[in-house]
Structure 1
């Protein structure tokens, strides 16, 4: 099967590279062609429009920042929806609002193609290593057709049924992760302000019930003043906005989510493009 991959940013570049190394015929599209150069040098073929990519591909994979970016490549005269038909499968790895995922599914189905929403758990390094967790929902036939390609980019794939269940799980995951990490970083900043060594406090907390390999990775970076972007603060703020919207829709009482959303709103002013762990700076300023 020919794979078309749209979106070659921090996540998409690693995923596309793993698929290419596994022997798939790859077509790629990115708004800025420079990000496709390494893949082109390794054998991928660059397409000038999403429509051209979809015409040449059986599987159309998307890994984009938000709903706006997804609309830009799917709709309009040069969007991939123009060329979709029976035999094509669209897989959206992007984290988007669940309601948009339903909308995109309907547009794809109207064209006779199959659709999967497949947001992933993991950031830059798991994407590069092929160790993501894929949350899939949508057409079971599409899921089965994608099994081989998913194995090249993930350590685990979970099929959740109908759209937008995977998007809901991703929203819950990011809400829980953001609120937990924010509380941890607030605690370390608190410790520093009252005269304790943050590294000492971290080592103590990490020896107890708060031990967590991903927190350990993030917090060691913070202690080294390393905020290289693996998952940007701006993208997490976007996802918290989705969570707020879903919570409002279902009338969920989520005061911690609301509070952390305000912290991230403050963090956007200075640290939008840094790693989400730069939220520590909001407490340390």
Structure 2
């Protein structure tokens, strides 16, 4: 079994289809599990290439950043070959606190992008709320305390709100360009089914604008 997790569709294509890539070692009796967050088209192409060569394939994108990964606390979304899922379950269990099997290839990627889209929009809303609170003279510590007791409380609000309050921006758990990449992929996916995403599209443009100012 070979596992991989890379940053974006381009990196995955290079890893799989490039010179001395994953496909060079794929054949009957071999299995490939990719844990990257990419688009449905890319993960489908990888699946078809692996299975055409007689290998087994599982997509398994993760929810969680660096610290949950180090602590084995990721959420893992898997789809593809069910027998491979069963065979590698102990490995997935070691990396995550819970693993879901979602059916055919593409389903896990769709789920991950939907969740990433929501996380991005929540993060943007939280940042604007904290900024407004500061500029109108509210105590940010008190704002965050009340937020964490309110219906909008969640781990993202608690951890990112605390980081904003303390201006801890130098060592982010997830880089801006990766958050924006996930938003972009979600917005692109929505175009394929003609589903408007007014808020997510606006947040994607916001993140792009911040990137253009040199933040990564």
Shorter-chain TM-score range: over 0.9
In the TM superposition, what is the alpha-carbon distance from 1:271 to its structure 2 partner?
Answer: 5.4
* Residue segments in structure 2 that go unaligned for 5+ positions in a row: none
Mapped partners of 2:150, 2:86: distance in 1:
41
Structure 2 CA distance for aligned equivalents of residues 248 and 147 of structure 1: 34
Deviation at 1:148, TM superposition (A): 1.2
Distance (Å, rounded) in 2 between the aligned partners of 1:120 and 1:137? 12
Residues 271 and 127 (structure 1), Cα distance of their counterparts in 2 relative to 1, 3 Å cut: farther
How many residues are aligned here? 215
Rate the CA distance shift 1:76–1:124 in 2: closer, same or farther, 3 A.
Answer: closer
1:124 to 2:124 alignment = no
Is the 1:92–1:118 Cα contact (8 Å) retained in structure 2?
Answer: yes
Structure 1 stretches of 4+ with a deviation exceeding 3 A read: none
Give SS of 1:133's match: strand
Gap regions ≥5 residues in structure 1? 1-58, 274-285
Q: Is the 8 A contact 1:233 1:271 kept in 2?
A: no
The alignment's TM-score, normalised by the length of structure 2, stands at: 0.96
- Work out whether residues 79 and 104 of structure 2, in 8 Å CA contact, stay in contact via their aligned partners in 1: yes
Offset at residue 149 of structure 1 (A): 0.8
User: Aligned ranges for residues 49-64 of structure 1 at < 5 Å?
Assistant: 59-64=1-6
CA RMSD of aligned residues (A): 1.2
2:176 pairs with one of 229, 233, 237: 233
1:65 aligned residue? 7
The answer for the alignment partner of 2:91 in structure 1 is: 149
Contact 1:232 1:272 in 2 (8 A): no
Which residue number in structure 2 is paired with residue 30 of structure 1?
A: none
